[in-house]
């Protein structure tokens, strides 16, 4: 790929990546709806432990410290606490997505909530992938709204990747967050809580677990429709490049044709890998999607145009 012909393709890919990264950030979303001020304004501290099981179930245990008068009211009437917990867990679009009926206990000023999120961890290449901290295309900006948020691997396994913002040790990924503040707004803690970014937690064992984890986290989520769109875009790029080249009629050596097609395929694949998954929303999508369409059209124009020009030059009689 010569520098003059590569520059237009590379510039287009750079614009595409800039548009994808320029999507307006959504407001912070607590990763735990039963933690901190997101759960109740009188929660002062929260510890949350998510124990992953070998079958993919995840057992949640959340301990909330409460101030009066809420602690006393809920001790006298536990049903009020249970109703609040059930209401908080009723949102199936945020984690947990498939919880069992929770057990709710209050002792002194501590409210303890336990339940199992069934099948939450995905089985991938002999590993368990916990997707709680990855919005996977939704306009979600998760924040750690617990003072300590822990994802623990099953017994005999370990955390085999490096989840963003976490400390990994003793088979656990641990985040330090913000459960509560002194502000009047019950959601003020969410604005101060740390953002882990789009990250997965992967648990497993064995000497190849780290390498398998790198493959898994690169490919996740395994959405057939998403990969189908990738494949259709790639097919269009290849066929359009070849079609423009064949307009001349002169056949070039296979190596030259392959090089011209690579001129379009490599930037396309690089862009897909860099922005996977393709799910921009909101105002950013108004720029991103048209620019993506422009890339799919112009990349073949560059590669096919180069091949066409070379074929035309080869067809001219020598002077």
Domain range summary for the chain, segments of one domain joined by + = 3-24+223-315, 31-219
Token look-up 């501590």 returns: 110
pTM of the model: 0.75
Q: Tell how far CA 169 is from the center of its chain.
A: 23
pLDDT tens-place values along the chain, 319 residues long: 444 444 555 555 555 555 444 445 568 889 999 999 999 999 999 999 999 999 999 999 999 999 999 999 999 999 999 999 999 998 777 889 899 999 999 998 999 999 999 999 999 999 999 999 998 866 578 999 999 999 999 999 999 999 999 999 999 999 999 999 875 555 578 888 999 988 999 999 999 999 999 999 989 988 888 889 889 989 999 999 988 888 877 778 888 888 889 888 988 888 887 777 766 555 555 666 677 777 778 888 888 888 888 888 776 655 4
DSSP 226-284: HHHHHHHHHHHHHHHHHHHHHTT-PPPPHHHHHHHHHHHHHHHHHHHHHH-S----HHH
What is the SS3 assignment for 106?
strand
Cα–Cα distance for residue pair 201/171, rounded to 1 Å: 11
Do 201 and 163 form a contact (C-beta atoms < 8 A)?
yes
Which two structure tokens, joined as six digits, stand for 317?
A: 């009689």
Q: Supply the Cα-derived Rg of the chain in whole angstroms.
A: 26
């Amino acid at each position: 790929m010569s520098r003059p012909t590569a520059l237009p393709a590379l510039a287009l890919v750079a614009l595409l990546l800039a548009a994808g990264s320029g999507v307006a950030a959504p407001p912070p979303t607590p990763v735990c709806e039963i933690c901190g001020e997101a759960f109740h304004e009188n929660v002062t501290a929260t510890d949350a432990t998510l124990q992953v099981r070998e079958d993919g179930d995840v057992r949640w245990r959340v301990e909330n410290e409460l101030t009066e008068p809420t602690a006393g009211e809920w001790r006298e009437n536990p049903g009020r606490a249970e109703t609040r917990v059930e209401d908080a867990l009723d949102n199936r679009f945020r984690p947990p997505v498939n919880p069992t009926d929770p057990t709710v206990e209050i002792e002194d000023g501590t409210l303890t909530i336990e339940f199992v999120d069934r099948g939450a961890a995905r089985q991938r290449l002999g590993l368990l992938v916990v997707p709680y901290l990855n919005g996977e295309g939704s306009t979600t900006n998760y924040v750690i709204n617990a003072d300590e948020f822990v994802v623990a691997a099953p017994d005999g396994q370990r955390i085999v990747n490096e989840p963003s913002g976490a400390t990994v040790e003793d088979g656990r990924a641990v985040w330090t967050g913000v459960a509560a503040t002194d502000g009047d707004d019950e959601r003020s803690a969410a604005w101060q809580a740390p953002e882990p970014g789009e990250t997965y937690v992967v648990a497993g064992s064995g000497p190849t677990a780290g390498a398998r984890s790198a493959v898994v986290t690169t490919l996740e989520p395994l959405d057939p429709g998403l990969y189908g769109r990738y494949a259709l875009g790639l097919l269009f790029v290849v066929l359009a490049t070849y079609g423009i080249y064949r307009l001349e009629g002169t056949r070039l050596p296979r190596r030259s044709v392959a090089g011209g097609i690579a001129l379009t395929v490599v930037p396309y694949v690089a862009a897909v890998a860099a922005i996977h998954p393709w799910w921009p929303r909101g105002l950013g999508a108004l720029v991103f999607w048209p620019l993506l369409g422009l890339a799919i059209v112009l990349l073949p124009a560059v590669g096919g145009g180069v091949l066409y020009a070379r074929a035309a030059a080869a067809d001219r009689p020598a002077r």
